[in-house]
Amino acid sequence: MLKCDLLVDSKDLRSTLLNLKNNQDFTILLDMTAVDYLKFPDSTPSRFAVVYVLRSSDFKKETTVKAFVDDNTLSVDSVHDLFASANWAEREAYDQYGIKFLNHPNLKRVLNHKEFVGHPLRKDYKITDGQISKETDDLMDEMTPLLKSKGYSDQEIEDLMLLNVGPSHPASHGTIRNFLAMEGETITACVTEIGYLHRGFEKACEHHTYSQVIPYTDRLNYCSAILNNIGWAKAIEEMLDIEITPRAKMIRVIIGELSRIIDHIVCNAANMVDLGGLTSLWYLFSARDKAYDLLSKLTGARLTNTYTRIGGLEFDLYDGFAADLEDVLKATESGVDDVLSLIAHNRIYHDRTQDVGVIKADFALANGISGPNLRATGVAHDLRKDKPYYGYENFDFDVVVGSHGDVYDRMMCRFEEITQSIKIIRQAMKNLPDGAINVYAPNAVLPLKKDVYGNIEGLMNQFKLTFEGIMVPKGEYYSSTEATNGELGFFIVSDGSGRPYKVKCRPPCFYSLAAYSKIVEGTMLADAVITMASLNFIAGEFDR
């Protein structure tokens, strides 16, 4: 958790970021966004500001840099050449707020359609102003300069085969469009288009109370919805300076790690299907189905669970939960062992995954890649270890790393992370304390029903929390957790009311997907398919 702590003039923004990178070891750009202060209760130097969240190379320190943008020019210098991860992040800020980034190589919309009029995260854009866009973007405005930068002439470009993979294609694993220039079976250039599943998550957050946002977080990475719930609730609790109960912490660890297992199962099983190993899917999905049954019994839903509450949890563990959970863990261990026995000495599997879709550690860090996709390159970064929360520092588990950063390493990292999550869960169940699952915080936690019906204080408290929301102290915050795909962050601006003034979600696979075109250029089309599957892109997460 941090507050924006470095305010600079927009003319000095680029030099400040360069100094932080070169002289103060803040080499990683986690995220960047913009803020529209049009309706903020306090006066500001100008209407718009840009915010950059940085982390040091040892993963221990964070800082944010903010610069107010000149109202007359609405422009700042791009830093895409300092931080590769700024490329799509700056495009998103331009798309949503209309701020121009000078010298950006491809400043065009990224989440909204090219026909979209206006900038939806501006405070004077109404959430009800829907637009219908019908015209497909041929993407040649991106493809042609890209090919010319590689030395192709106009005639040579005409001779290339142009191929659309997606947005509705089984290999996409979601609504992703990759526009490819092909020489035979080799990908010469790739342009990625997203936004097909953009629902306006951050705009919706501004019009709901902090508690009402929880169901929306389910729809980010819907393969591990509870980890999104946890990330959001943790951020608000830190803003309120609330520490949840020991039992609630331990249950969040247990259910969060179970969600991580489910997500890794889905990723690796789908990857095996793309490789032709359909049998492996049945072994793994059998365990996943048991896990969904358990979550349904606990939360009332199999997929989008909405389980956390600000200050705790919706339900305590039911009688017989421990036995059901152990059945799920044993089924998972059996499924993983069966799959590994099928592929351990399978020549076809090794040929298709080793030295395919290789990502180097420096490239991954520069492009904001995190989670198992980063760890597969050999970088032992995991927020559960480097910035522990909920007592993760007390658990005995290993950070799983690869050595080559290829498809094989990414899959094996996820298989081993399943084993490590099982190890964490069993330790948590062994040390699960008794006690309440919600803190006593009348300013944030709904009262018990007996108090609502039994006394006026309880009734009024319930009324105010429901209709006005939790009053979060005014300020700007960034909080993050180790989600399945990497660092899930929330940058939140509070104006002191019961609704967030601004929310920016840092979806981990947004940055992996931004780098995808560079990863697959020069590779075979068949290899690009399994590379995409191994990176685990979730459309609900990167599109929001």
pLDDT digits (tens, 9 = 90+) for 76-122: 999 999 999 999 999 999 999 999 999 999 999 999 998 889 999 99
Residue 1 has pLDDT above 60, yes or no: no
Residue 381 has pLDDT above 90, yes or no: yes
Nearest to 489 by CA among 227, 134, 240, 166: 227
The confidence score (pLDDT) of residue 81 equals: 92
**Which helix (H) or strand (E) covers residue 203, if one does?**
helix 201-205
- Please name each of the domains of the chain with its CATH number: 6-102 (3.30.460.80), 137-196+507-544 (3.30.390), 201-506 (1.10.645.10)
- Written in H, E and C, the secondary structure of 338-362 is HHHHHHCCCHHHHHHHCCCCCCCHH
Phi, psi of 275 (to 5 degrees): -85, -5
Per-residue pLDDT tens over the stretch 9-66: 989 999 999 999 999 999 999 999 999 999 999 888 999 999 999 999 999 899 999 9
Residue 465 has pLDDT above 90, yes or no: no
- Written in H, E and C, the secondary structure of 520-543 is HCCCEHHHHHHHHHHHCCCHHHHH
Phi, psi of 108 (to 5 degrees): -140, 170
Per-residue pLDDT tens over the stretch 161-202: 999 987 888 877 778 899 999 998 999 999 999 988 898 899
The confidence score (pLDDT) of residue 4 equals: 63
Residue 516 has pLDDT above 90, yes or no: yes
- Label the pairing between strands 486-494 and 502-506: antiparallel
Exposure of 300 in the CB half-sphere (CA atoms within 13 A): 6
pLDDT range class, residue 135, cuts 50, 70, 90: confident
Residue 246 has pLDDT above 90, yes or no: yes
What average pLDDT does range 353-374 have in this prediction? 94
Phi, psi of 431 (to 5 degrees): -110, 20
Per-residue pLDDT tens over the stretch 137-168: 888 988 999 999 888 888 888 888 999 987 88
N-term to C-term CA, the chain: 22
The confidence score (pLDDT) of residue 418 equals: 96
The confidence score (pLDDT) of residue 172 equals: 76
Per-residue pLDDT tens over the stretch 466-507: 888 889 999 999 999 999 999 999 999 999 999 999 999 999
Rounded CA separation 411/52 (Å): 32
Per-residue pLDDT tens over the stretch 256-311: 999 999 999 999 999 999 888 888 889 999 999 999 999 999 998 888 989 999 99
Say how many C-beta atoms besides its own lie within 10 A of residue 426's C-beta: 15
b/e map 381-413, b = 16+ CB within 10 Å: bbbbbebebbebeebebeebbbebbbbbbbbbb
| % of the chain at pLDDT higher than 70 | 99
Q: How high does pLDDT run on average in the chain?
A: 91
pLDDT range class, residue 123, cuts 50, 70, 90: very high
Rounded CA separation 478/63 (Å): 10
Q: What sections of 302-455 are H helices per DSSP?
A: 321-343, 347-353, 361-366, 372-375, 383-386, 407-430, 449-454
pLDDT range class, residue 2, cuts 50, 70, 90: very low
Q: What sections of 223-320 are H helices per DSSP?
A: 225-240, 246-274, 278-299
Exposure of 5 in the CB half-sphere (CA atoms within 13 A): 11
